[in-house]
Chains A and B, each alone.
Chain A
Amino acid sequence: DGGITQSPKYLFRKEGQNVTLSCEQNLNHDAMYWYRQDPGQGLRLIYYSQIVNDFQKGDIAEGYSVSREKKESFPLTVTSAQKNPTAFYLCASSMTRLAGDGKQYFGPGTRLTVT
């Protein structure tokens, strides 16, 4: 079955530690995205990548880093510089805009709690 996987579903860390969230897709999509969602709010874009070995900052990139070494994978590192890291993190992928409506498909999310 094609889809997007994120692991783990729940993650707990102590303040001051970096943590990496994984995102893998087998949909053969070129573009991948990371969003953050806080309780009762919409999605805010952290980073996105349109092609392997290239990525751009979204609206709230400070305190986060990403890599895109393979088409299937787009891991997100939440660094100790991120002031409020506790949130629900969603990964998404899509075909490029020129290939259809370009709708984004989402993974199941990782709920990160930092204490």
Chain B
Amino acid sequence: GQNIDQPTEMTATEGAIVQINCTYQTSGFNGLFWYQQHAGEAPTFLSYNVLDGLEEKGRFSSFLSRSKGYSYLLLKELQMKDSASYLCAVRDLAAAGNKLTFGGGTRVLVKP
């Protein structure tokens, strides 16, 4: 099975930077996804990492270290609209098809 851990909640100030960590344990890692979910809405795709290193997409970056079973999502120049839950999801080589296992999500609250 898989175990995915991320903090439950984080608070940050508008314009600041926040880093959301995700640790995972899996028998055969085959990709990690980050999704953003506003309350009551569908998750939307943010990033995908399968190799070690940093992937940058505008204000959002995602980092992966496969040897440490660790990823983080970095949100820069925070805006009020970034208040949402951020979900880390891992795909396992042994998983049939394209099954993902999701962490519990990190709720980020951006204050003025």
Contact = CB atoms under 8 A, between A and B. Distances in A.
A75 interface: no
A104 interface: yes
A35 B99 CA distance: 11
B104 A42 contact: yes
Contacts of B107: 40
B44 A106 contact: yes
Interface residues of A, number: 29
A97 B98 contact: yes
Given A41-B104, A109-B42, A101 B97 contact: no
B98 A104 contact: yes
A108 B98 contact: no
B97 to A, nearest CB: 4
23 contacts: A33-B99, A40-B104, A40-B105, A41-B104, A41-B105, A42-B102, A42-B103, A43-B87, A43-B102, A45-B101, A56-B96, A56-B97, A90-B42, A94-B98, A96-B98, A97-B97, A102-B91, A102-B98, A104-B100, A106-B42, A106-B44, A109-B40, A109-B41
